[in-house]
Structure 1
Amino acid sequence: MVAHLLDNIFWNTLTGPHAVFAAGSGDVRRYARGFSPILGFRDPQRPDFAELERICDVGEHFYCDQWTGHAPAGWAIEAESTMYRMVYAGDLPPDGPGDDATQLSLEHAEQAVALAALTRPGPFGLRTIELGDYYGYFDGGQLVAMAGERTVVKGYREISGVCTHPDYQGRGYARALMQRLMRQQLLRGETPFLHVMSANAPAHTLYLRMGFTDHSEPVVRVIGRTDPRAATAS
């Protein structure tokens, strides 16, 4: 059976459309520094940690999915959970929602990172908004909601970074931004997909109501590069 492109989306993206934003060789890739701290493995159950050590600095932290093995010396598993990978199966969203949003550019990068740090929609870096189209709503010059695109493979594009400042929730900003992205993706011949943590039941329910369906529920981990000499010394 041929694996679905989404089943190893980070590897397929980092060795495909986003290879220009990637670092690494052999059986492992990472987004280059400044982008979202995400790893991709050719075989998710057999990460090449020797190559990772070459391209990752002590103190860096990364997200990866599917890997369930033990961490070797020099690495620590800092968090583990599962997430739903969801694919859109609904109709073309109507024209209009999100059209009044601002397209984000590098001048908005620091605000985007600050909003992501506050709301924690997933891994985000100063250059993440270069990975696709990002849109946001502002109030008095302050970015209060955003959504955009991250990974991409043939026929599929991810909606990511969906978040709203706590003081501005309940106004429909996130849904409008998502509908704008979904509409433009579908019109380009791409199927929208997204990730949501399994523990985030309200968001999962919302996405189901919007027309997304569960594709898979992989393990997701945050791993960190540590200094093995420190462990030896202690």
Structure 2
Amino acid sequence: MTHLLDNIFWHALSGPQAHFAVGTGMARRYAPGFSPIVGFANPGQPDFDALAPYCEPGERFYCDGWSGPVPDGWRIALESTMFKMIWDAPMPEVDEASDAVPLGPAHVAQAVELAILTNPGPFGPRTIELGEYFGYFDGPRLMAMAGERSCAPGLREISGVCTHPDYQGRGLARRLMTRLIRREMQRGETPFLHVMSRNSTARGMYERMGFRNYRESVVRVVTLDRG
């Protein structure tokens, strides 16, 4: 049986987050300023012609679950694999980050700066509008953050999980994730996340927290070359 996670970005971009997206009935992307991610109604045969009018040459987009030939006018800038992981444990008993700061428009510059430094995945200046984001600060410096990106009925993605190198080893990101997991489960949603296959350290932490591997899939970063 097909699971929403098998094509989660399409289900998000054409469903609950359609107001954050642009595109057609066959191909959609988050609007400029949000995370540069695309989704296709048929990920096995993605309709790049339908997507192209909504993209600028040189823009880089993350594409999940497609491993076919590259269409004319596009090129692959990066190819790897990632794990989709889904929560498979009881709700955490304690909110370990009740003292975390909700991130909003005033924190965009700090959030983008931390994302550039740590590269938690595709992130844009409007990404924190896609869900709840929380962080820990040391004065004006954002030490760690975690938040929510895509969603589909009954599912909510935890994303943007990162810690400044000067503050690693304190469990800050894990505490922020625990807060998000509790809040999502209280809303009747099942948390899930993506992690690059090579990032065994993070994947091990997520497994210890209560996530399990759902599937491993190809992830590509694609660029439109033609004008």
Aligned counterpart, 2:171: 172
Aligned counterpart, 1:134: 133
Aligned counterpart, 1:57: 56
Instruction: Note the 1:88-127 alignment, pairs <5 A.
Output: 88-127=87-126
Aligned counterpart, 1:195: 194
Partner of 2:177: helix, strand, or coil? helix
Aligned counterpart, 1:36: 35
Question: 1:86 is aligned with what amino acid?
Answer: M
Aligned counterpart, 2:81: 82
In structure 2, how many angstroms separate the alpha carbons of the residues matched to 1:147 and 1:184?
A: 13
In structure 1, how many angstroms separate the alpha carbons of the residues matched to 2:95 and 2:83?
A: 28
Question: 2:101 is aligned with what amino acid?
Answer: T
Post-superposition CA distance 1:184-208 (Å, at most 9, x none): 1111111110000000011111111
Aligned counterpart, 1:218: 217
Aligned counterpart, 1:12: 11
Question: 1:28 is aligned with what amino acid?
Answer: A
1:100–1:76 Cα change, 3 Å: same
Question: 1:171 is aligned with what amino acid?
Answer: R
Post-superposition CA distance 1:124-155 (Å, at most 9, x none): 00000000000000111111100000111111
In structure 2, how many angstroms separate the alpha carbons of the residues matched to 1:37 and 1:55?
A: 12
Using the size of structure 2 for normalisation, the TM-score is: 0.98
In structure 2, how many angstroms separate the alpha carbons of the residues matched to 1:226 and 1:13?
A: 26
1:53 is displaced (CA, Å) by 1.4
1:110 is displaced (CA, Å) by 1.4
1:62 is displaced (CA, Å) by 0.3
CA RMSD, aligned part only?
A: 0.9
In structure 2, how many angstroms separate the alpha carbons of the residues matched to 1:96 and 1:52?
A: 41
Q: Indicate the percent of aligned positions where both proteins have the same amino acid.
A: 59
Partner of 2:34: helix, strand, or coil? coil
* Bigger radius of gyration: 1
In structure 2, how many angstroms separate the alpha carbons of the residues matched to 1:47 and 1:166?
A: 38
Partner of 2:188: helix, strand, or coil? coil
- For structure 1, the 5+ residue unaligned runs are 229-234
Number of aligned positions between the proteins? 227
Partner of 2:166: helix, strand, or coil? helix
In structure 2, how many angstroms separate the alpha carbons of the residues matched to 1:94 and 1:121?
A: 27
Question: 1:126 is aligned with what amino acid?
Answer: P
